[in-house]
Amino acid sequence: MQTDLRGRDLIGDLDFSKEEVETVLDVAWDLKRKRALGESHAYLRDKVLAMLFFFSSTRTRGSFEAGMAQLGGHAAFIESRTTQIAHGDTETEMGEIFGRYFDGIAIRHVDWGTGNRYLNLVAKSSREPVLNMQCEIYHPFQCLADLMTIMEKKGRDLRRRKVVVSWAYASSYLKPISVPQSLILQLPRFGMDVVLAHPPEFKLMPEIMEQAQEQARKYNAGFEVVDDMEAAFKDADVVYAKSWGPLLTTNDPTEGKAIQDKYKHWITDARKVALAKPDTIYMHPLPADRDVEVTSEVMDGPNSVVFDQAENRLHAQKAVMALTMR
């Protein structure tokens, strides 16, 4: 167990070593047990977390806010448009001032080419840890919850388990690519054989792909990229299928929507899930476009673990906050 996480930022998935991630998971399971038993675990009494949102949220805001309360502290919800950011407060001001007011700064900023840079600049100026609630490159807390869920369903030893990270069609906006990027960075570290499936226009960032391949080599895990959803699903232990925008092809909403609409058949349905192993688990970070991105039959079916996955956001985030903000 690693015990030196106090004051550490978590912005990218590789900011914590594999051993540090294992520590986070150990603490998360302990906190989940305490929550189930009604045991007090006010490790952050009198601590306050700033939650700065540039992008809307359901699970992220709810889980961070509830988590801080359960840890004995308080979370302050701050919508960026209600601040003076538009009138001159730069990343330096936000880091310096919020780092003095608060004991941690959590930020969600997914604007393409802007969000990750913003988080890192705030962190550079903050005396307190900065936590990434999602940027355009990474979604580390979602990935920690995903890893926690997979281990709960498949055991702690994930070597040679096949996980499919697949694009799926959605009719709504061009969603960030941060979830699949975090998954392909983190899961190979635990020995999982990752198959990334997407149409040609939906590539991920080249530098992230290189890092994912490097992690796969380091931990003797498989890493493969295919352009066939059904072929990818075959014999999978985990099916993680969600939409993301063709942001490396275009970030124009109209052009991107036209590209997306060519692939409406990339829906997660019972026929495709049947290609995976009988005990496969279906995962999605939510919100999902029901009966467009995934059928209700699958989302509400016996293979789905989406609500366990959503719950684990709470426990994984509490673990990181307890370890970094004390």
Nearest to 244 by CA among 174, 316, 309: 174
Q: Where in the chain is the domain with CATH 3.40.50.1370?
A: 13-139+313-324, 141-309
Question: For residue 131, what are the β-bridge partners?
Answer: 10, 106
| Relative orientation angle of helices 178-186 and 140-154, to the nearest 10 degrees | 50
Residues 220-252 pLDDT 10s? 999 999 999 999 999 999 999 999 999 999 989
Element spanning 282, H or E:
strand 281-283
* Contact in structure between 267 and 168 (CB atoms under 8 Å): yes
> Which pLDDT score is estimated for 167?
98
Which one is the CATH code of 141-309: 1.10.238.10, 3.40.50.1370, 3.40.50.2300, 3.40.190.10? 3.40.50.1370
What's the DSSP call for residue 54? S
Mean pLDDT value across the chain: 97
**Tokens in use for 33?**
């047990």
pLDDT at residue 3 above 90? Answer: no
Average pLDDT over residues 17-32: 98
Distance CA 130, CA 182 (A): 18
Nearest to 51 by CA among 14, 101, 111: 101
- Tell how strand 162-167 and strand 130-135 pair up: unpaired
| 180, amino acid identity | P
**Ramachandran angles phi, psi of 21, nearest 5°:** -65, -40
> Which pLDDT score is estimated for 116?
98
Average pLDDT over residues 203-223: 98
3-state SS class at 283: strand
> Which pLDDT score is estimated for 98?
98
> Which pLDDT score is estimated for 56?
87
> Which pLDDT score is estimated for 251?
86
Nearest to 136 by CA among 176, 101, 102, 100: 176
**Ramachandran angles phi, psi of 10, nearest 5°:** -130, 100
Letter string b/e over residues 103-135, b meaning 16 or more CB atoms within 10 A of that residue's CB: bbbbbbbbebeebbebbbbbbebbebbbbbbbb
Percentage of residues of the chain with pLDDT beyond 70: 100
**Ramachandran angles phi, psi of 74, nearest 5°:** -140, 145
Residues 43-67 pLDDT 10s? 999 999 999 999 989 999 999 999 9
Distance CA 170, CA 242 (A): 8
**Tokens in use for 12?**
């990218």
What's the DSSP call for residue 171? S
CB-based contacts of 83: which residues, under 8 Å, 6+ apart? 52, 89
Distance CA 68, CA 78 (A): 15
- Name the band, by pLDDT with cuts 50, 70 and 90, for residue 1: confident
Distance CA 213, CA 156 (A): 22
> Which pLDDT score is estimated for 301?
98
Average pLDDT over residues 262-270: 97
Superfamily name and number for 13-139+313-324: Aspartate/ornithine carbamoyltransferase (3.40.50.1370)
pLDDT at residue 193 above 90? Answer: yes
Average pLDDT over residues 83-93: 94
* Contact in structure between 246 and 204 (CB atoms under 8 Å): no
Distance CA 140, CA 144 (A): 6
Distance CA 188, CA 297 (A): 30
Average pLDDT over residues 209-221: 98
- Name the band, by pLDDT with cuts 50, 70 and 90, for residue 282: very high
pLDDT at residue 173 above 90? Answer: no
> Which pLDDT score is estimated for 172?
83
Average pLDDT over residues 140-147: 98
> Which pLDDT score is estimated for 74?
98
**Ramachandran angles phi, psi of 46, nearest 5°:** 70, 10
Average pLDDT over residues 26-31: 98
Distance CA 80, CA 50 (A): 12
